[in-house]
């Protein structure tokens, strides 16, 4: 290669090197710019995320009802985050509950919450409460109706609207909403009855309407009326209800015992028999004695006016299914053979009668191997004083078949009482501190109790 050629080749090599250096510099510059841009973008994203995190934290803190914050802090938060419906709702509640009660400011925030979140019915509840506090009942009713339109199955919406309508004097509309709320949540029925009782001027038909038809609701209504000193109305609510149709016997027993504590014996007895046997005939309904032939099972859950059969250390009382006088069953008392036998109300029934009226108790009895120094007696006791009104002769010892017995007596007439309450009972009290053992058994069946004399048809 000549010298000129060598010089030319060196020139091109140097030029190529310069180009490579320039290209390398440009690539490095582009990489640096890209890194700078990426870094800046990362910082921006981090800043946005930090703002979101801090904003969310502040909003959640200020809007949390479990955290105590000052009204000023909530109001400042609502101004700083004007698009937060939660903060406006909290600010409205804080303003309304404040010492000064800034209802205008509270309404502003409530409306902002509704506007920012128009499908949240809870914010309309807040607005309605503020409007009620301002005595703007028409606006409050409109807000509650709007909330109910958003949540038609919400019990609280029906309940709040019912209260607003009642305060506005719109009783019929309020009753509809109260009934819906109480049927959806039975725990509201007690408060509902109290509100309707006062708001309807004690109208029984309004009370029955909001209670509805469920058995438990009817019992709640009856108990409420009883507390309002309305025993007759209370018992009417439960008339025709079958005690076996879903009501808890314990709850019915509590109601019946409450009637007895109020000395409403007749009402309690009539309701008791109606609950146990709503389809009774007129003759059965008019009979003062219950289950005189022992054909029905004895109620353990509702024992108020049924036979009481209790064992003692001296005798056992059972219903036997053979050898009855009439029907399929009879009562059998079997003595265990202990000396100085005592019977005192192991067998008895509480009966409600007309004071001063004359009655005849009839029954059938038989004995099987009865050995006793003196047999037991059927007695009529005054329930108020436990004094014996009348009694049979002592049951004769031996073995003998069914015989008819009767006891005539006059029901006690206690001043101030509309009813006479007596016990039909089996009793044996030894005359001495010791007598010989009583053995064998006695059976009873077909008790009847009829009014005698001119008053019998009354």
Residue 202 lies in a domain: no
Residue 256: name the closest of 285, 219, 281 by CA.
219
* Spatial distance between the Cα atoms of 193 and 388, rounded to a whole number of angstroms: 45
Residue 143 lies in a domain: no
Residues 333 and 402 in one domain: yes
Query: Which region among 58-67, 101-110, 270-279, 439-448 has the lowest average model confidence (pLDDT)?
Result: 58-67
Residue 115 lies in a domain: no
Residues 245 and 348 in one domain: no
The whole-number average pLDDT for the span 223-252 is: 82
Q: Please, what's the b/e burial string for 240-263 (b: 16 or more CB within 10 A of its CB; e: otherwise)?
A: ebebeeebeeeebbebbebbbeeb
Residues 342 and 430 in one domain: yes
pLDDT for the residue numbered 299: 85
**Contact at 8 Å (CB) between 157 and 148?**
yes
Query: Which region among 55-69, 226-240, 251-265, 431-445 has the lowest average model confidence (pLDDT)?
Result: 55-69
Residues 254 and 352 in one domain: no
pLDDT for the residue numbered 56: 55
**pLDDT-based confidence at 458, cuts 50/70/90?**
very low
Residues 424 and 340 in one domain: yes
Q: Which residues, 6 or more positions from 223, have their beta carbon under 8 angstroms from its beta carbon?
A: 234, 254, 255, 258
Q: At 87, phi and psi to the nearest 5?
A: -65, -40
Q: pLDDT higher for 207 or 109? A: 207
Is residue 234 scored above 70 in pLDDT?
yes
Q: How many domains does the chain have?
A: 2
**Contact at 8 Å (CB) between 352 and 439?**
no
**pLDDT-based confidence at 279, cuts 50/70/90?**
low
Residues 266 and 379 in one domain: no
Residues 281 and 312 in one domain: no
- DSSP letters of 398-447? EEEEEEEEEEEEE----TT-S-EEEEEEEEE--SSS--PPPEEEEEEEEE
Residue 433 belongs to domain spanning: 308-457
pLDDT for the residue numbered 300: 85
Alpha helices in 120-229 (DSSP H): 121-133, 137-150, 155-167, 171-184, 189-199, 204-211, 215-227
pLDDT in tens, 175-219: 999 999 999 998 999 999 999 999 999 999 999 999 988 888 889
Query: Which region among 13-27, 291-305, 343-357, 392-406 has the lowest average model confidence (pLDDT)?
Result: 13-27
pLDDT for the residue numbered 51: 46
Residue 325 lies in a domain: yes
For 140, 238, 262, 350, the CA distances from 266, given in Å and listed in that order, are 49, 15, 11, 12
Residue 39 lies in a domain: no
What CATH number is attached to the domain comprising 353? 2.60.120.260
Angle in degrees, CA 455, 456, 458, rounded to 5: 65
Residues 349 and 272 in one domain: no
Q: Please, what's the b/e burial string for 71-108 (b: 16 or more CB within 10 A of its CB; e: otherwise)?
A: beebbebbeebeebbbbbbbbbbbbbeeeeebbebbbb
pLDDT for the residue numbered 304: 92
Average pLDDT, the chain: 84
Report residue 376 CA to chain centroid gap.
47
Residue 252: name the closest of 283, 289, 226 by CA.
226
């Amino acid at each position: 290669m000549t010298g000129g050629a060598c010089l030319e080749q060196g020139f091109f090599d140097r030029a190529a090197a310069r180009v490579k250096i320039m290209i390398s510099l440009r690539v490095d510059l582009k990489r640096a710019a890209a890194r700078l841009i990426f870094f800046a973008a990362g910082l921006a994203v981090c800043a946005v995320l930090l703002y979101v995190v801090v904003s969310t934290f502040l909003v959640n803190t200020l809007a949390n009802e479990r955290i105590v914050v000052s009204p000023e802090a909530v109001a400042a938060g609502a101004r700083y985050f004007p698009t937060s419906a939660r903060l406006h709702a909290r600010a409205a509640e804080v303003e309304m509950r404040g010492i000064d009660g800034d209802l205008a400011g509270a309404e502003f925030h409530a409306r902002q919450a509704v506007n920012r979140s128009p499908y949240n019915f809870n914010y309309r509840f807040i607005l309605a409460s503020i409007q009620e506090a301002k005595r703007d009942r028409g606006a409050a009713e409109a807000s509650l109706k709007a909330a109910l339109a958003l949540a038609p199955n919400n019990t609280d919406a029906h309940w709040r609207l019912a209260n607003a309508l009642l305060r506005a004097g719109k009783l019929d509309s309020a009753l509809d909403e109260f009934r819906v709320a109480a049927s959806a949540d039975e725990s509201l029925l007690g408060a509902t009855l109290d509100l309707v009782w006062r708001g309807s001027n004690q109208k029984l038909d309004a009370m029955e309407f909001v209670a509805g038809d469920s058995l438990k609701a009817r019992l709640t209504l009856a108990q409420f009326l009883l507390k309002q000193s309305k025993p007759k109305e209370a018992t009417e609510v439960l008339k025709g209800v079958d005690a076996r149709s879903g009501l808890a016997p314990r709850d019915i027993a509590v109601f019946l015992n409450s009637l007895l504590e109020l000395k409403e014996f007749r009402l309690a007895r009539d309701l008791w028999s109606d609950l146990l046997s709503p389809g009774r005939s007129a003759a059965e309904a008019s009979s003062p004695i219950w289950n005189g032939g022992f054909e029905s099972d004895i109620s353990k859950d509702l024992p108020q006016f049924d036979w009481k059969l209790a064992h003692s250390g001296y005798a056992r009382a059972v219903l036997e299914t053979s050898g009855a006088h009439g029907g399929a069953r009879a009562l059998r008392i079997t003595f265990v053979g202990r000396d100085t036998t005592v019977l005192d109300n192991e067998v008895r029934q509480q009966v409600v009668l007309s004071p001063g009226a004359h009655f005849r108790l009839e029954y059938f009895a038989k004995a099987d191997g009865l050995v006793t120094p003196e047999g037991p007696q059927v007695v009529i006791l005054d329930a108020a004083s436990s004094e014996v009104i009348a009694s049979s002769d002592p049951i004769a010892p031996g073995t003998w078949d069914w015989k008819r017995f009767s006891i005539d007596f006059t029901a006690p007439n206690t001043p101030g009482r509309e009813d006479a309450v007596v016990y039909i009972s089996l009793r044996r009290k030894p005359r001495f501190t010791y007598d010989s053992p009583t053995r064998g058994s006695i059976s009873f069946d077909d008790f009847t109790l009829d009014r005698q004399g001119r008053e019998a048809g009354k």
